[in-house]
Amino acid sequence: MPTHEWGTQPEMFGPLHAHRLGRIVREVERLPDGSRVLDGAVGLGTLAAQLQGRGFRVTGIDYSFEAALHVKRTSSIPVVVGDMTRMPFRDGAFDGVTSGETLEHLEHDGAAAGEIRRVLREDGLCVTTVPALMSLWSTSDVYYEHRRRYSREQLRALFQSAGMRVAKASYWGFPLALIYDYVLLRPMNRRRAKHRIDDDAMLGTVRRAGKSRMLVAFVRALFTIDELFSWVPFGPGLLLVARRTS
């Protein structure tokens, strides 16, 4: 049974979400203007909208009918309801594929990696993020309905086994994003698991704060300090960039 209502998870909005999407967008911007990009899973459509705003031709896919309906109602982005392990697209249909915080939810993540490769054109770009390191597993992972967290080696092997060339696999979020996770997100998620957001004044306040553009921008700016520690092989998140090989 789901531990939350769709669209309420803090991993779908707030400064940490915005910071992570910014990292994905920077990698996708290596593609030429007008490139065809698939965003899976599209969720609230935040990443897809940013990519569309930068001139990419974006399509979304999500297993959730609610997600597809939300994106259809709030944007002009075409979106389909579908399974990332069996996507309804022809071979080589896209120049790029993004997958933000998706693989950890799937039972067959290897099948999803294989499908990502299949729908990419030759030398097409894949950018994906996942939560890192089982040593950081917490009640938040249960709340998010994660199946696993990944090491850099595991994520790299997953895409190499699917026939892709990994250009980058790097940890991110140490130390400030990790502190933010411990100090704010984990306690709030424990509370969210027990109370409806609409019935809890504190949770309602946190949700409103997480959607404040000014506050999100300020905290997100603080997270850029973590880039000074990017050489440390540790962090709450992993970003992988890979290319489809022939």
What pLDDT is stored for residue 12 in this prediction? 57
75 falls within a domain:
yes
Our count of domains for the chain comes to 1
Q: What is the pLDDT of residue 8?
A: 52
Check residues 160 and 246 and name the one with the higher pLDDT.
160
* Token representation of residue 169: 């696999």
Rounded Cα distance, 244 and 212, in Å: 38
Residue 3 covered by a domain:
no
Q: What are phi and psi of 4, to 5 degrees?
A: -160, 165
- Domain of residue 196 covers 10-244
Instruction: For residue 124, give Cα distances in angstroms to 51, 128, 173.
Output: 16, 13, 27
CB 66 within 8 A of CB 6: yes
CATH number, residue 150: 3.40.50.150
Here the tokens at position 225 are 């300090």
Degrees, nearest 5: CA angle 170-50-9: 70
Q: What is the pTM of this model?
A: 0.91
Q: Is the pLDDT score of 6 beyond 60? A: no
CA-based torsion, 137, 184, 198, 211: positive or negative:
negative
pLDDT tens, residue by residue, 162-180: 999 999 999 999 999 999 9
Kindly report the CA angle at 227 between 18 and 223, in degrees rounded to 5?
Answer: 40
So what's the pLDDT on residue 153?
98
pLDDT > 70 fraction of the chain, expressed in percent and rounded? 95
Whether the per-residue pLDDT at 10 is higher than 70: the answer is no
Taking only the tens place, the pLDDT of each residue in 74-89 is 999 999 999 999 999 9
Q: Is residue 107 part of a domain?
A: yes
- The yes-or-no verdict on residue 1 having pLDDT over 50 is no
Instruction: For residue range 114-143, list pLDDT tens digits in order.
Output: 999 999 999 999 999 999 999 999 999 998
Is a pLDDT exceeding 90 seen at residue 201?
no
User: Is 4 a member of any domain?
Assistant: no
Beta bridge partners of 241: 127, 168
Give rounded-to-5 percent helix, strand, coil for the chain: 45, 20, 30
Whether 115 is in a domain gets the answer yes
Confidence at 100, pLDDT banded by 50, 70, 90: very high
Burial 126-137 (b: 16+ CB within 10 A, else e): bbbbbbbbeebe
Q: Is the pLDDT of residue 7 over 80?
A: no
Chain mean pLDDT for the chain:
91
The pair of structure tokens assigned to 243 is: 């290319």
**Average pLDDT in the 18-42 region?**
96
Q: What angle do CA 109, 48, 138 make, to 5 degrees?
A: 45
In contact, 130 and 100? CB cutoff 8 Å:
no
Per-residue pLDDT, 5: 56
Q: Give kind and range of the element (H or E) at residue 166.
A: strand 164-172
